[in-house]
Amino acid sequence: MPKLELYGTASCPYTREIREWLEWKGKDFEEYDVEADEEASERMRSLAQAPYSLPLLVQDGKVIQVGWQGRACVVGK
Domain ranges of the chain: 4-75
What are the Cα distances from residue 76, in Å, to 40, 45, 52? 14, 10, 7
Phi/psi of residue 44, nearest 5 degrees: -60, -45
Question: What is the model's pLDDT at position 1?
Answer: 57
Question: pTM surpassing 0.85?
Answer: yes
Q: If DSSP codes are grouped into helix, strand and coil, which group holds residue 62? A: strand
CA dist 48 and 29 (Å) reads 19
Homologous superfamily (CATH) for 4-75 = Glutaredoxin (3.40.30.10)
Burial class (CB in 10 A: 0-12, 13-18, 19+), 4: middle
Answer whether 15's CB lies under 8 Å from 54's CB: yes
Per-residue pLDDT of 23-39, as tens digits, reads: 999 999 999 999 999 99
Per-residue pLDDT of 1-18, as tens digits, reads: 569 999 999 999 999 999
